[in-house]
Structure 1
Amino acid sequence: MIKKETFQFLKDLMANNDRDWFQENKAKYEEARQNVEEFADEILIEIKKIDSSIPPEFSGKKSMMRIYRDVRFSKNKLPYKNNFGIGISSTGKGGDNPGYYIQIQPGESFVAGGYWMPQADHLKAIRQEIDYNTQDFLKIIESKEFVAHFGGLNQEDKLKTTPKGYDAEHEYIELLRLKSFTVFEKLNDNVLNSSKAVETIVESLKMINPLTVFLKQAIGNN
């Protein structure tokens, strides 16, 4: 589970996002980070049973996103993120590949997965796979359990025009207009503070897995 002290550290960081405060509270940061690493290790034990593409040696420590922000090209100059991120895929925590993501943030925690903003050749391959095997894709994203959990695929990243090579009257043109293929489910703080936290997240990851399998097959990474 995620300890209440971890959430409290993040709340305090949100109110005191500067280097002096962070250095003075470095011990609390290390304790919170350790808690999230151990939490990620528990999740990885279970998800590796489902997704064999995740490297056996991939650990909670390796899955952790940096808390330090890259402010070089950002108007937001706050030095630290106000969350802990856990990234899981066959290529590690990042990379251009389908996978899973868990964010720990007071009031804004969530579990997500799929493929966010794939590179051009991957996007082309995914659209082609959806076009060729539409019913297989629909079976995943329109299943009752999937829709109940996630409400369907996120629609934010989408072309306003028709992708090259497809007819505007294509029956599934709205799917083909997508530029990302992801799902999202908000996590309640109380759930993450409970003994059911890992079980709850793993249940969601199990439902995301068929989507990631389809996407990996589309780009030839299976």
Structure 2
Amino acid sequence: MPAYFSDQSLRFLHNLSRHNERDWFHAHRADYETHVREPFQRLLADLQPDLAAVSLQFRADPRPVGGSLFRIHRDTRYAHDKSPYKRWQGAKLFHARHREVPTPSWYIHLQPGENFLAAGIWHPETPVLRRIRQFLVDNPQGWRRAAHDPALQRRWRLSEDEMLVRVPRGYPEDFEFRDDLRRRNFVIVRALDDATMTGPRLRQTIARELAATAPFMDYLCAALDLEF
């Protein structure tokens, strides 16, 4: 089976990080389309049956606009860094209701030496965060199976970005998973090396990981009263 991405895909993103300028990007836009965006769109299209086998509520949408693929352009309006382009390409496998309410998602990240898969909900607003924390307190055994299964933890790790210093007020200090109550993001991450991202079995790898992380995503959906 042919690979989706290649060394040229990674080389383009590496060069973009060194020449993050509009003139350079426009001069090399054909390389971006051929080696990054179009392969990503093919991957998303091919993942549709794999994702449907895990959940009928999530979408892998290959459309160039309004689909799963994030724009390569950065929003620099409020950023100190005015570089016009991201140094990576990412795509989100989103819930059917993602435009209506906060939802978890799967994420695929292509970046030389920093590729990864992620699953969960990133930066939820405070009311959503409270719902997840309370659901965790009320359903600790389900959380154990969803997030702390040894087979899952061999390949995935819970993100520790932006952890609170202590358990939030109102939650039990002696709770079995008190460290998880300190989370600002309920996300699990798995790194992928460049050889996997450019290899012929990338789709199979992602499909396997979608299935492996389904209990985690199902748990978050249940916490937010979403169908999985």
> With structure 2 as the length reference, what TM-score do the two structures score?
0.89
In structure 1, stretches of 5+ residues that fail to align are: none
Alignment partner of 1:5 is 2:11: no
Match of 1:121, SS state, is: helix
| Contact 1:50 1:206 (8 Å CA) reproduced | yes
Q: Is the 8 A contact 1:64 1:93 kept in 2?
A: no
Kindly provide the amino acid, as one letter, of the partner of residue 132 in structure 2. Answer: I
- AA at the equivalent of 1:103: H
CA 1:64–1:93 in structure 2 vs 1: closer, same or farther (change >3 Å)?
Answer: farther
Distance 2:58 2:175 in 1: 35
Between the aligned partners of 2:218 and 2:206, the Cα distance in structure 1 is 18
Supply the distance in 1 between the matched residues of 2:174 and 2:141 (Cα, whole angstroms): 18
Note if contact 2:61-2:93 (Cα within 8 Å) is conserved in structure 1: no
Q: Which amino acid aligns with 1:71?
A: T
* Identity across matched positions, percent: 26
1:38 aligns with 2:42: yes
RMSD: 1.8
* Native 8 Å contact 2:97 2:103 kept in 1: no
How far apart are residue 35 of structure 1 and its match? 1.2
The residue number in structure 1 matching 2:18 is 15
Q: CA deviation at 1:4?
A: 2.4
How far apart, in 2, do the equivalents of 1:83 and 1:156 lie? 19
Q: How does 1:121-160 map to 2 (within 5 A)?
A: 121-151=127-157, 153-160=158-165
CA contact (8 A) 2:145 2:215 kept: no
- Equivalent pair of 2:117/2:190 in contact (CA under 8 Å): yes
Shift in CA distance, 10/220, structure 1 to aligned 2, threshold 3 Å? same
Task: Pick one of 99, 109, 120 that aligns with 2:105.
Answer: 99
Corresponding residue SS for 2:155: helix
Question: How far 1:193 sits from its partner (Å)?
Answer: 1.3
Deviations for 1:21-80, whole angstroms, at most 9, x for unmatched residues?
11111211221211111112222331121111114xx52231100000011111111110
Larger mean Cα displacement after TM superposition, 178-187 or 4-13:
4-13
Q: How many residues align?
A: 219
In the other structure, the counterpart of 2:203 is: 198
- Write the letter of the residue equivalent to 2:33: E
- Distance in 1 separating the partners of 2:97 and 2:79: 26
What letter matches 1:156 in structure 2? D
Report the CA distance between 1:92 and its aligned residue.
7.6
Structure with greater helix share of residues? 1
